A = this chain, B = another copy of it.
Amino acid sequence: MDAIKPELLRGSLELMVLSTLSGGKKYGYLIQSTLWESSRETIEMKAGTLYPILHKLEKEGWVKCHWESDTGRRRKWYELTAAGKKQLKSQADEWWRYVECLRRVLAPLGELSPQTA
């Protein structure tokens, strides 16, 4: 499966990270691999993209994090806060609203919900 154009991903990357964290706390590298799998090898979020997002989430108070070095290899674990869960719901709602909007705009093409197939 081909990769999705970067321009399309813009705006939904943060949502994807939040959603991935809704399955339990994770560290950066794990978020990357989880996203890669849940998207069926489509979303390959680069480190240079992911970490600035995580830092923003932390700054906004949407995730709380703590370092762990027990295994020798240091890891920074991220976990959704209550505000983060609220934010996730908000962004997910907007996303589906956007999809519905595009569905209407693309209606003349006769592309009737290809994703329900």
Contacts and interface: CB of A to CB of B under 8 A. Distances in A.
Contacts of A7: 10-11
B40 A4 contact: no
15 contacts: A4-B98, A6-B11, A8-B10, A9-B11, A11-B11, A15-B102, A19-B106, A19-B109, A20-B105, A38-B105, A38-B108, A39-B101, A43-B105, A92-B109, A99-B115
The contact size tier of chain A is: 35 or more
Interface of A: 1, 4-12, 15-16, 19-20, 22-23, 35, 38-40, 42-43, 88-89, 92-109, 111, 113-116
A7 to B, nearest CB: 3
